[in-house]
């Protein structure tokens, strides 16, 4: 059985706690590895290695840091297929989806290569007589990233690329369900010339997370995962004096107006609902269809669903893979089974024909879902699309704004004025106009509103640079014997 250890000081270190987790191949349902879980002492040792590396790394010139990151960019690019394969084996996503994850993660590494341009401060010459004032940005220290199972390569790249380019050292606690991508990435960073201890990986569960949240040498925590854990991480981390950004779950609505291109809308809804088996925080999970076109739109979605080829990542023709675990598959199926009892209409039941081996489900479609029903209220995180019928634009907007989540949303219409009004009114952090999965490019920042994000800095891009640095302002005067005198008054600038 393959055993996955931690990554400390640029090498694999096997765990000593005696505790471990099971890593499945979701396409077969079989265990393929065991991952060591850190105890408090092991976690402390990882943080100590990151702390020891900090003085050297933060003194390393920006150009040298960028050189390492440029090399990392080349290595990730050269190893796209290899990383995608690792992701596919442990997560279950099909190769095209895993390659997409890699491409979007790589954008964050490319952005980080240019961070020296964002580390520039301001400078005010002669703020007072002979006095100059300037601002600088400095790293926070040892920072941590805690990541979810659904993007085991991309989400770590959202975090570590900016964090280490800004001069921090980093401890990653990846999802215990698919931990191998993080280990492969760690070795690429070593090959890129990153000094020992700057990037570390520690595997584990709540024990490791709790120690990170209370460890006195951890300055900041960047978290991505489900809303209850995000809230817990935010509250615990900030109570312990840390800077925290904690991104949570979602229920993303796609509002389809009567003037939309309905074929385009149906293609978008099917792609965004069932891609990655719905295990995306930006998946479209609710189509809010205006009544007058709802039947027509549902027919178009219905005819597309049977064409989706469900299969393992090893099958090149597969478009949708299995879910992450058996428990999760059964939980997702439970939403479909419960929907009819709640008064919704199950148009396609994808649980009926699911394969026995592996954690597969076929796509499901539920119509007439409403707030108050579990299938509408909760994040399903599986291949289940629910449709809620609304009277018109205002009712659709209200539905979205009343939802406790605010990660992503999209409007489908040909009316630019209405689309602009939607962008103005909607209480959601990332908005698509005829674009179903509006994940921002790496030079913007990613983040939801309301229960989809705790903290005030979004992830990656410019806000990621802010998150991993803090400002300092220097007021400076050089001795000039011609102007020196004793003056006990409060310093004035005029």
236 binds ligand NAD (CB under 6 A): no
Residue from 44, 278, 279 nearest 177 by CA: 279
- Rounded Cα distance, 259 and 242, in Å: 48
Residue 281 annotated as catalytic: yes
Nearer Cβ to ligand NAD (171/266): 171
Structure tokens at 213: 């949240």
262 binds ligand NAD (CB under 6 A): no
Which member of 7, 24, 111, 149 binds ligand NAD (CB under 6 A)? 149
Q: Residue 105: is it exposed, middle or buried by C-beta count within 10 angstroms (0-12/13-18/19+)?
A: buried
Q: Are strands 405-406 and 449-450 parallel, antiparallel or unpaired?
A: antiparallel
Long-range contacts of the stretch 86-89 (C-beta < 8 A, 24+): 86/153, 86/180, 86/181, 86/184, 87/152, 87/153, 87/178, 87/181, 88/313, 88/314, 88/321, 89/25, 89/32, 89/180, 89/313
Q: Are strands 469-477 and 131-139 parallel, antiparallel or unpaired?
A: antiparallel
Smallest gap from residue 331 Cβ to ligand NAD (A) = 11
Which member of 5, 145, 179, 225 binds ligand NAD (CB under 6 A)? 225
Smallest gap from residue 329 Cβ to ligand NAD (A) = 13
Structure tokens at 48: 């100590």
Task: Report the DSSP beta bridge partners of residue 243.
Answer: 220
Cβ(257)–Cβ(418) below 8 Å = yes
381 binds ligand NAD (CB under 6 A): yes
- Rounded Cα distance, 162 and 464, in Å: 7
146 binds ligand NAD (CB under 6 A): yes
E strands present in 45-168 = 123-128, 131-139, 142-146
Contact string (CB under 6 A) for ligand NAD, positions 44-83, x = contact: ----------------------------------------
Binding span for ligand NAD by CB under 6 A among 11-19, 109-117, 148-156, 465-473: 148-156
234 binds ligand NAD (CB under 6 A): no
464 binds ligand NAD (CB under 6 A): no
Nearer Cβ to ligand NAD (230/399): 230
Phi, psi at residue 169, to the nearest 5°?
-105, 155
147 binds ligand NAD (CB under 6 A): yes
Phi, psi at residue 443, to the nearest 5°?
-95, 5
Please, which of residues 431-460 interact with ligand NAD by CB under 6 A? Answer: 448, 452
Residue number closest to ligand NAD, CB atom: 225
Binding span for ligand NAD by CB under 6 A among 104-112, 188-196, 202-210, 476-484: 202-210
224 binds ligand NAD (CB under 6 A): yes
Residue from 380, 375, 362, 387 nearest 305 by CA: 362
Please, which of residues 2-41 interact with ligand NAD by CB under 6 A? Answer: none
189 binds ligand NAD (CB under 6 A): no
Catalytic residue, chosen from 113, 166, 281, 375, is: 281
Binding span for ligand NAD by CB under 6 A among 35-43, 241-249, 311-319, 476-484: 241-249
Smallest gap from residue 144 Cβ to ligand NAD (A) = 11
Q: Would you tell me the crossing angle of helices 40-59 and 206-214 to the nearest 10 degrees?
A: 50
Q: Cα–chain-centroid distance for residue 28? A: 27
Contact string (CB under 6 A) for ligand NAD, positions 350-379, x = contact: -----------------------------x
Please, which of residues 278-337 interact with ligand NAD by CB under 6 A? Answer: 281
Chain positions contacting ligand NAD, by CB under 6 A? 146-151, 173, 175-176, 205-206, 209, 224-226, 229, 247-250, 281, 379, 381, 407, 448, 452
Residues acting as catalytic residues: 281
């Amino acid at each position: 059985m393959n055993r996955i250890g931690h990554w400390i000081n640029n090498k694999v270190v096997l765990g000593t706690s005696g505790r471990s987790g099971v890593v499945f191949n979701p396409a077969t349902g079989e265990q393929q590895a065991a991952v060591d879980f850190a105890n408090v002492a092991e976690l402390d040792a990882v943080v100590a290695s990151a702390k020891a590396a900090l003085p050297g790394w933060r003194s390393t010139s920006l150009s040298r840091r960028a050189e390492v990151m440029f090399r990392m960019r080349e290595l990730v690019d050269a190893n796209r297929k290899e990383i995608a394969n690792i992701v596919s084996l442990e997560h279950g996503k099909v190769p095209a989806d895993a390659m997409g994850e890699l491409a979007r993660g790589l954008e964050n590494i490319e952005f980080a290569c240019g961070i020296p341009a964002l580390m520039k401060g301001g400078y005010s010459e002669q703020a007072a007589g002979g006095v100059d004032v300037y601002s600088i940005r400095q790293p926070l220290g040892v920072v941590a990233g805690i990541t979810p199972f659904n993007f085991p390569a991309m989400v770590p790249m959202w975090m570590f690329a900016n964090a280490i380019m800004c001069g921090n050292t980093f401890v990653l606690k990846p999802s215990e369900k698919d931990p191998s991508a993080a280990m492969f990435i760690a070795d690429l960073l070593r090959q890129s010339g990153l000094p020992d201890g700057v990037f570390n990986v520690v595997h584990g569960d709540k024990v490791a997370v709790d120690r990170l949240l209370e460890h006195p040498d951890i300055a900041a925590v960047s978290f991505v995962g489900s809303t209850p854990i995000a809230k817990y991480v935010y509250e615990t981390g900030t109570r312990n004096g840390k800077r925290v950004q904690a991104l949570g779950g979602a229920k993303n609505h796609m509002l389809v107006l009567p003037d939309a291109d309905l074929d385009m809308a149906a293609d978008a809804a099917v792609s965004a609902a069932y891609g990655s088996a719905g295990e995306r925080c930006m998946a479209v999970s609710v189509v809010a269809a205006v009544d007058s076109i709802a039947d027509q739109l549902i027919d178009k979605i219905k005819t597309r669903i049977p064409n989706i080829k469900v299969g393992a990542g090893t099958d090149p023709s597969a478009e949708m893979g299995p879910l992450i675990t058996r428990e999760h598959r059964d939980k997702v199926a439970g939403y479909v089974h419960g929907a009819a009892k709640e008064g919704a209409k199950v148009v396609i039941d994808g649980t009926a024909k699911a394969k026995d081996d592996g954690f597969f489900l076929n796509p499901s479609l539920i119509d007439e879902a409403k707030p108050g029903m579990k299938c509408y209220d909760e994040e399903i995180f599986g291949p289940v699309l629910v449709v809620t019928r609304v009277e018109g634009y205002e009712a659709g907007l209200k539905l979205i704004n009343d939802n406790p989540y605010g990660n992503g949303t999209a409007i489908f219409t040909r009316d630019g004025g209405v689309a602009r009004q939607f962008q103005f009114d909607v209480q959601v952090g990332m908005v698509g106009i005829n674009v179903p999965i509006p994940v921002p490019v790496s030079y913007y920042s990613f983040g939801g509103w309301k229960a989809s994000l705790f903290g005030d800095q979004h992830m990656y891009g410019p806000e990621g640079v802010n998150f991993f640095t803090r400002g300092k302002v220097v007021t400076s005067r050089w001795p000039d014997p011609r102007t020196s005198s004793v003056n006990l008054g409060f310093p004035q600038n005029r």
